[in-house]
Structures are given as C-alpha cells and as structure tokens.
A and B are shown apart, each in its own frame.
Chain A
Amino acid sequence: MSEVILDQVSKSFSDTAALDKVSMIIPDESFVVLLGPSGAGKTTTLRMVSGLDKPDSGSIVIEGVTVTDHTPAQRNVAMVFQQYSLYPHLTVRENLEFPLKSPLLNTAKKDIGEKVSAVAELLQISHKLDNKVTELSGGEMQRVSIGRALVRTPNIFLMDEPLSSLDAKLRADLRIELKRIQSDSGATLLYVTHDQIEAMTMATHVGVLDKGKLVQFGPPREIYENPVSIYAASRLGQPRINVLPADIFGSAPGGAKFIGLRPEQIVQGRGESATVRRVEHLGDQTRLHLLFNKHEIITVTDAHTELKSGDELRIQPKDAFFFDDQGIRLI
C-alpha cells in the first residue's frame, strides 16, 4: 500500500471546472473519505487517481512515482464503481477472477481459486459464485463489485459510494467489515460517500469538497469540532448544525454574521426562552424542534423527555462557532 499525492490538480469538462487546484496527501494506510454534494468533484477526484481521466494541470504521485501520464493498469489501483459495472456476460466467479487473470497480475491458477473463495466468503456471496451477474439483486451486485476490488492488493482502493444501494443492515455490516479489512491489511482507501455516518465511522481523514475545491482536510473529529466554514460544518453532524444570525443571543464578536450551534453547543434549562414546536422520539434520542426569536432550531434531548409541543424551554449557547458574511469561520 502506498501514499498518494495530488498536487494542484485541475480538471474542467467543457466550461465547468470539476476540480480547481486540489492538493491532497493521502497517507499510507489511511482511509480517506471525500464528502460533498453531487457535482462537488468527488468522483472526478477518484477518476484522476485511477487514471480514467487525465488532469488538465497538476500531477498525481503514487508511492513516489509521478503517474499523471500512466494508464490505469500501470497505476495498479482498484476501483469500485457506483453503477457496479460488473461484466454482464460473465458469472460472479468470472467477474471476481477477471482482475486476477489480467496481464498486470497474471495470478497462478491455485491462488485465483483461493482468493476468490476468501473474498466470496467475506462478502457472503459464496452460494452465488456460479450465477450470472445479471441474475443478482442490487445489493449482491454491489458486493460482487466490492469483491472484484478486494481480490487484489493494489496501491490504493478507490470506492465510489460502494454501500449506497445496500439495505441498512448489510450496509452496517459491510461498513465494519471494510474498516476491519483496511486496518488489518494496511490498505490505503479513497472513498466517496454522501453518508456522514460512513465518514465518521470509517475515515481516518475526511476531505470536504465544494464546487471543485478542497475546503478542508483532516481527521473527522477535527472537521466536526473545528470546521473552517458553514459549508464544512454542515457536512457532518446529525441533526445538522443550526445557523442563525450572530447576535440572536446578544453579544457577538466583531465581523460575525452567523452563529453556528450543534446540538451539544446548546445548553438546555437556562438562558433564554424558546417554544417547543415538535418532539420526535427516535428511540435512542429525542429531537426537539424549537422556535426561538422567529428562528427554528433543531437540537437533541434525553430519550425519555417529558417535553411536548407548546412547552417552554430555556436555552443558552456554549462554545458556539461564529462565521463571517462569507460563511468563513471566525472563532
């Protein structure tokens, strides 16, 4: 496994800039998750590293070698596509064998069998090995697609929303499994997702992309606790961070336009009065929708709360974030 470096990588498609001078160091044995809405440049970043697309400018270095002009095969990377992209004319087994039989790896017959059964076991698709891939369910296809990457030992694994079409239970299982594989084997992973739970639980580093720019890169806790902007702060945290006018609780630092409050930054029981509008019991926690000074605030409270709609609740900010008029973090 290897360190991957993106240096000032830019790419545009016709007139729109998909990536704008993105620089990033993906450390060896790290699990890097890219976050951002559609069109932020997450998939483009993956395709740059894979070699499927070439950057307009900038360079990509894998394990100390500049690979900007190398073909995907020369880079020895494995990728899990969002649309599975399983070879429809082959069986599950043949799909899993496909990369191992390539001129790049040219694996011995004996090893192919072993690797395929090990991966099939891991992904619980052993019983489907001789089925045509077109006969599989969406979740099974996605697992085969992950398996096709896992049979290899590439420089880096690239995964484009690999768990998106699985049901909740399987997604939770595979999340743990992927994390385990990564930490056991010391694989380097670059992983694209919309799902912040995946980001928080699996990532060693999170990269936040906004319209082709990398706005923040660091461990998930750091991004959660120390976001550089409203945009970065909104990527992580459930319920989302509340963004309100800076002076809504009175004093605000100079230049501050907005105050950002995560649920744990709202102290309940003292301070100013807010009205409870809705109470959502989620089982392990309860969400409160509050109305404060004509602004809606969503926060979390005790699972067994007695509060109900119409009640009054006192709230007070604690260690809040302040942002300027551009949404850039001040404190």
Chain B
Amino acid sequence: MSFSVTEPSNRQKWISGALVIGYAIITLLPLFWIVATGFKSSPDSIAYPPKVIFEPTVEGYVNLFTTQTRLSQDAISEPRKNLSWYEQLVREKGNTIVGPSRFSERFFNSVIIGFGSTFFAILLGTISAYAFSRFRIPLKDDLLFFILSTRMMPPIAVAIPIFLMFRHLGLNDTHAGMILLYTAVNLSLAVWLINGFIDEIPIEYEEAALIDGYTRFQAFYKVVLPQAATGIASTAIFCLIFAWNEYAFAVLLTSGTAQTAPPFIPTIIGVAGQDWPAVAAGATLFLLPVMIFTIILRKHLLRGITFGAVRK
C-alpha cells in the first residue's frame, strides 16, 4: 500500500517535515494557550502583555468545580484548622466553598447527548446504508439525494420551527430532545458515508455466508459489519465531533437540566467577575473526551478519510 512510485529524497523529507511542524505550531498554539490559561491565576490570565512564563496554580480547576462566596473580614481572621488543600487555596483569596458547581452535571449532559446521538446516528445510518447498498429500492437515488439535501442549509436555519416543535412536544431542555435533534442532523452524513463504505464490500462475501448456512441478518452481522468497521468508526468520529461541539441549538433549546457544556462554559463567573482560568480549565477538560475517542479510533480514521481508495 504505497502512495508514491519513488522514495522521496532527503531534501523533500526535510521540507515536508518543516511544513508539518510549522502547521502543527499554528494549530496547536491556541490549544496551548487554553491549557496554559487554565493553570494561571486570575490576574495572570488577563495580564498585559500576556505572560508566557507564570507560576502555575490549580485555582482555575478548583473554581470550575465549586461555587464560592466571599468571606467577611471577621471570618477571614478567624483561624481554621483541618482544611483540605483546595479549601485552603480558596480561603487564601478570601473566599469559601459553599458547594459543587454545575460543571460536572453539564459535562455529563454533553457525554450523554454526544455519545447517545452518535450511537443512534450510526445505528440507523448503518441499517439504512446497508439497505440502500444491497436492496433494490424504488426511487433509491432520489431518496439518497433527499437525505443529502437536509444538509444543504445550516441546521440553525430551521432553529425557529424546531424550537416551536420542541416546545409543543415538551422536548425543550430534555436529553431525549437533544439526542433526537443531533441524531437527525448527523443521520444524513452517516447514511452517505457508510453507504460508500458498504458499497465497497463485494456482495460475494454475503452470498458465500448465505450458502454457508447463515441468514441474511447473520451474514450482515458476521461478514459485512466487521469489514465496514473502519468506515463506521470514522463516521462515528465525525458525528461525535459535531454533537459534542454544537453550540447554537444548545443555547437555544437547553437552559437547565439538559444543558450541554458548550453553552455553559462561557458563563462561568467567579466571585469577582469573569473567571478566565476556570473557563479555560473547563475548555481543556471539554476537549479531552473527543481527543481520546479520536486517538482510540485514529487507525481507522486515516483509512476512513481516504474512503477506501487504496483498497486492493
């Protein structure tokens, strides 16, 4: 599986290496800035000129997970023992912890809604893609085009009707509503991508399985699915990234119970105004799941993006 006929020369390797490193620096710089800000103190985070070298602190993370209130002068002077390290840290700023923040709740909402909608988009997408690929369906091309056409405008263009429908159905601010919405948006992508992958799998494998004594569904499950795994995995990444990062619908349709992390993070306000280290800490934690998911599936992703073009 080689892409080039000739081995690249040393100079070409150097140039491409330099280009990749340059590009990586450009894309990673904002990421680095977010991670760094998460470990800054509040004054450091808004210092001008910006501080590249600073004294790291986990203040931002503590603030992210807790709700605090200002202590009175008397209370500060009153000596306290047996405080845990984070309570101590907060007390040094003249604050005290009154309870956990809503961040973990919002984060968990994102996990449920992101992975839930990805699961349904992949499940339904795989089933319909298989049907489109293998069965004679009347108006097949038109149906596929119709499915694609749902992506021809930005989903937010239909925000108002969706908002009204959701209100009418009582789906506003519910997990089910958000999973349904993200599944609907992702489904067209899932059907199209997976359809392409299944089309690439010769039908003879299933025929062999039918002859070998399996039913159609068993043939699908035992023969088609393992071979489509690569394509399905990369499609799942695309779906998850969309659902995970989606902001506009989340702002519009969720406010409490089902609010996801993206609309929540910018609203983190500390005791003394906007708490940038806590926002950055929230953003850093928010990046992790998709990153881990992508790293786990990255072997599949590369082949997925090339659309099986290099398959023998």
Residue positions of A touching B, CB distance < 8 A: 50-52, 71-73, 76-79, 81, 83, 85-89, 98-99, 102-105, 148
Considering only residues 199-246 of chain B, those with a C-beta below 8 Å from chain A are: 202, 204-205, 207-215, 218, 223, 226-227
B302 to chain A, nearest CB (A): 18
Contacts of B226 in A (CB 8 A): 89
Q: How far is the CA of A77 from the CA of B213 in the complex (A)?
A: 9
B102 to chain A, nearest CB (A): 45
Interface pair B215/A87, CB less than 8 Å apart: no
14 residue pairs A–B, Cβ–Cβ below 8 Å: A52-B207, A72-B207, A72-B210, A77-B211, A78-B212, A79-B211, A83-B204, A87-B205, A87-B209, A88-B205, A89-B227, A103-B214, A103-B215, A148-B208
Residue positions of B touching A, CB distance < 8 A: 202, 204-205, 207-215, 218, 223, 226-227
Interface pair B211/A103, CB less than 8 Å apart: no
Given A87-B223, A89-B226, A89-B227, is A104 in contact with B204 using a C-beta cutoff of 8 Å? no
Interface pair B215/A71, CB less than 8 Å apart: yes
Q: How far is the CA of A103 from the CA of B217 in the complex (A)?
A: 12
Q: Which residue of B lies closest to A99 (CB)?
A: B212
Interface pair A148/B212, CB less than 8 Å apart: yes
Given A87-B223, A89-B226, A89-B227, is A81 in contact with B207 using a C-beta cutoff of 8 Å? yes
Interface pair A104/B207, CB less than 8 Å apart: no
Interface pair A73/B210, CB less than 8 Å apart: yes
Contacts of A81 in B (CB 8 A): 204, 207-208
Interface pair B213/A85, CB less than 8 Å apart: no
Q: Which residue of B lies closest to A75 (CB)?
A: B211
Q: Which residue of A lies closest to B215 (CB)?
A: A73
Interface pair B204/A102, CB less than 8 Å apart: no
Among all A-B residue pairs, the 9 with the closest Cβ atoms? A104-B213, A102-B213, A99-B212, A85-B204, A85-B208, A72-B210, A89-B226, A79-B211, A73-B213
Interface pair A71/B210, CB less than 8 Å apart: yes
Contacts of A79 in B (CB 8 A): 208, 211
Q: How far is the CA of A99 from the CA of B215 in the complex (A)?
A: 12
Contacts of A77 in B (CB 8 A): 211
Interface pair B202/A83, CB less than 8 Å apart: yes
Given A71-B215, A99-B213, is A88 in contact with B208 using a C-beta cutoff of 8 Å? no
Give the secondary structure class of A's interface. Answer: loop
Interface pair A73/B214, CB less than 8 Å apart: yes
Given A81-B207, A88-B227, is A98 in contact with B215 using a C-beta cutoff of 8 Å? no
Contacts of A102 in B (CB 8 A): 212-214, 218
A101 to chain B, nearest CB (A): 9
Contacts of A148 in B (CB 8 A): 208, 212
A230 to chain B, nearest CB (A): 35
Q: Which residue of B lies closest to A88 (CB)?
A: B227
Give the secondary structure class of B's interface. Answer: helix
Q: Which residue of A lies closest to B226 (CB)?
A: A89
A254 to chain B, nearest CB (A): 52
Interface pair B227/A98, CB less than 8 Å apart: no
Interface pair B211/A72, CB less than 8 Å apart: yes
Interface pair B207/A98, CB less than 8 Å apart: no
Interface pair B211/A52, CB less than 8 Å apart: yes
Q: How far is the CA of A148 from the CA of B207 in the complex (A)?
A: 14
Q: How far is the CA of A316 from the CA of B56 in the complex (A)?
A: 108
Contacts of B223 in A (CB 8 A): 87
Q: Which residue of B lies closest to A89 (CB)?
A: B226
Q: Which residue of A lies closest to B214 (CB)?
A: A102
Contacts of B213 in A (CB 8 A): 73, 76, 99, 102-105
A222 to chain B, nearest CB (A): 32
Contacts of B207 in A (CB 8 A): 52, 72, 81, 85
Interface pair A98/B209, CB less than 8 Å apart: yes
Contacts of A88 in B (CB 8 A): 205, 227
Contacts of A76 in B (CB 8 A): 213
Interface pair A50/B209, CB less than 8 Å apart: no
Q: How far is the CA of A104 from the CA of B223 in the complex (A)?
A: 16
Q: Which residue of B lies closest to A47 (CB)?
A: B207
Q: How far is the CA of A71 from the CA of B218 in the complex (A)?
A: 13
Contacts of B215 in A (CB 8 A): 71, 73, 103
B243 to chain A, nearest CB (A): 29
Q: How far is the CA of A52 from the CA of B206 in the complex (A)?
A: 10
B248 to chain A, nearest CB (A): 41
Q: How far is the CA of A104 from the CA of B211 in the complex (A)?
A: 10
A87 to chain B, nearest CB (A): 6
Q: How far is the CA of A52 from the CA of B209 in the complex (A)?
A: 11
Contacts of B210 in A (CB 8 A): 51-52, 71-73
Contacts of A72 in B (CB 8 A): 207, 210-211
Q: How far is the CA of A148 from the CA of B223 in the complex (A)?
A: 15
Interface pair B212/A98, CB less than 8 Å apart: yes
Interface pair B218/A103, CB less than 8 Å apart: yes
A284 to chain B, nearest CB (A): 39
Given A52-B207, A79-B208, A98-B209, is A85 in contact with B202 using a C-beta cutoff of 8 Å? yes
Interface pair B211/A50, CB less than 8 Å apart: yes
Q: How far is the CA of A17 from the CA of B92 in the complex (A)?
A: 90
A136 to chain B, nearest CB (A): 13
Contacts of A71 in B (CB 8 A): 210, 215
Q: How far is the CA of A176 from the CA of B50 in the complex (A)?
A: 84
Q: How far is the CA of A30 from the CA of B216 in the complex (A)?
A: 31
Interface pair A78/B211, CB less than 8 Å apart: yes
B157 to chain A, nearest CB (A): 42
B221 to chain A, nearest CB (A): 12
Q: Which residue of B lies closest to A79 (CB)?
A: B211
Central interface residue in B207, B208, B210, B223, by most chain A CB within 10 Å: B208
Contacts of A105 in B (CB 8 A): 213
A18 to chain B, nearest CB (A): 17
B140 to chain A, nearest CB (A): 16
